[in-house]
Amino acid sequence: MDSGLKLLLLEDSLEDAELIQHVLKRSGLQFNADVASDEKEFLEALNNNSYDAVLADNALPQYSSVQALNLIKIRNPYTAFILVTGTVSEEFAVDIMQQGADDYILKSNLARLTSAIKKAIESRKMQKEKFLAEVEMQDLNKQLRTLTAHLQDVREKEQARIAREIHDELGQMLTAIKMDISSAGKKIGKSEKDAKNHIESALSLTDDMIKTVRKIASELRPSVLDDLGLEAALDWQSQEFEKHNPDIQCIFYSSVNDLAIEKNTATALYRIYQESLTNIARHSGATKVKAELNHIDGQLILTVTDNGKGFDQEEVKDKKSLGLVVMKERVLMINGLLTIESEPGKGTTVTVKVTG
């Protein structure tokens, strides 16, 4: 680590600068050093070189170690900074350490300087590696979210295509079959009782199949979302939820009226609402759901509140609920904000805010 270290001494005493270098060389530290005796020379040195550590005296005329430290924090926060001074109060030493100095050494105790330099440089190196790793992780997360957003878009488009084909192609064929069976039934005489019963059974089964096809198509991609917009789709979803969960009253209110909502935002909010209702049906034990879509101060706000049993958010966080993770990812993709408020016995409120 200490091979070829580059040090900058901020020291106005040539004798003290030579003494410091002599002590470091005697300890076996391999380094090259520049000496700056005032602010001008210090700035010139920083402009022309990159240093592993700065060793600063505190008693320079018209330029203090605190000023030097502040400049280093701006120019290169991963350069170690050690105060090397003849005398300093304990209060000042504590203060400069709190401001970011790595250590302070009295000139009367230079024997500790080499180990202090090594420790400070290693610490700064670790800080830099941690920072770079965090930056890389943020970049990877950004790339992952971009990929996730693309995959979500692809999935929505594919679901829309499948829904259209199920509704248009399969739905039409089932309708044609039903019409043929119905026509055949009318032509069979009354004496063919068994045949007529089979046809009636086939008609009933075909009706059920048509309903199932419509249900699957609407769940894949409800046409109302594309045809009439988010407000109508949320209202329709509320009614569908109540039909399939008759013990839960679902009330939906909207004040957005004819507000134009970007397609990706509308899709994300609709899917989040679906997921919220699914969670309520599965886990909440609620008897009432109230949902609102409002546009306030340039923000589109979706709020879903139930009167269920609620939950401990820390426990859910530990379990890493996939449904909540998906909701959070959808919100991030539209640059929105998701908040969940819940306590055991007090129900749950899910709020999504997005600029629009």
pLDDT tens digits, one per residue of 61-118: 788 888 999 999 988 889 999 999 887 777 888 888 889 899 988 888 898 999 999 9
DSSP three-state, residue 339: strand
Q: Are residues 210 and 233 in the same domain?
A: no
pLDDT at 195: 67
Q: Are residues 214 and 234 in the same domain?
A: no
Task: Return the H-helix or E-strand segment holding 68.
Answer: helix 65-75
The CA distance from 117 to 38, in Å, is: 22
**Is 142 a member of any domain?**
no
pLDDT at 58: 81
pLDDT(1) > 60: no
Task: Give the mean model confidence (pLDDT) for residues 160-180.
Answer: 70
Q: Check residues 141 and 340 and name the one with the higher pLDDT.
A: 340
pLDDT at 147: 65
Q: In this structure, are strands 53-56 and 80-85 parallel, antiparallel, or unpaired? A: parallel
**Residue of 235, 238, 242, 244 lying closest to 215 (CA atoms):** 244
Task: Return the H-helix or E-strand segment holding 263.
Answer: helix 263-279
The CA distance from 277 to 289, in Å, is: 8
Q: Are residues 202 and 311 in the same domain?
A: no
Q: In this structure, are strands 53-56 and 5-10 parallel, antiparallel, or unpaired? A: parallel
The CA distance from 196 to 37, in Å, is: 109
Residues 261 and 228: beta-carbon distance below 8 Å: no
pLDDT(160) > 80: no
For 6-15, what is each residue's pLDDT tens digit?
999 999 888 9
Which residues lie across from 151 on neighbouring strands?
A: none
Q: Are residues 113 and 157 in the same domain?
A: no
Q: Are residues 15 and 126 in the same domain?
A: yes
For 207-255, what is each residue's pLDDT tens digit?
777 777 767 766 666 677 777 889 998 999 999 899 989 999 999 999 9
Task: Give the mean model confidence (pLDDT) for residues 123-131.
Answer: 90
Share of the chain above pLDDT 90, in %: 35
pLDDT at 89: 77
* Token pair 């957003």: residue: 149
Residues 6 and 52: beta-carbon distance below 8 Å: yes
* Token pair 């076996």: residue: 28
Task: Check which CATH number belongs to the domain holding 68 and give it.
Answer: 3.40.50.2300
pLDDT(288) > 50: yes
pLDDT at 186: 72
- When mean pLDDT is compared over 143-147, 265-269, 317-321, the highest value belongs to 265-269
What domain range includes position 301?
229-355
The CA distance from 155 to 264, in Å, is: 12
Q: How many domains does the structure of the chain reveal?
A: 3
**Residue of 118, 23, 15 lying closest to 57 (CA atoms):** 15
pLDDT at 319: 54
For 192-209, what is each residue's pLDDT tens digit?
666 677 677 777 777 777
**Burial group, residue 315, by CB count within 10 angstroms (0-12, 13-18, 19+):** exposed
- What's the token pair of residue 348? 């749950």
Percent helix, strand, coil in the chain, to 5, is 60, 20, 20
* Token pair 């302070």: residue: 104
Q: Are residues 9 and 127 in the same domain?
A: yes
Q: Which of 200, 220, 240 is the last residue of a domain?
A: 220
pLDDT at 305: 95
Written as one string, the DSSP assignment of 161-177 is HHHHHIIIIIHHHHHHH
Q: Are residues 243 and 335 in the same domain?
A: yes
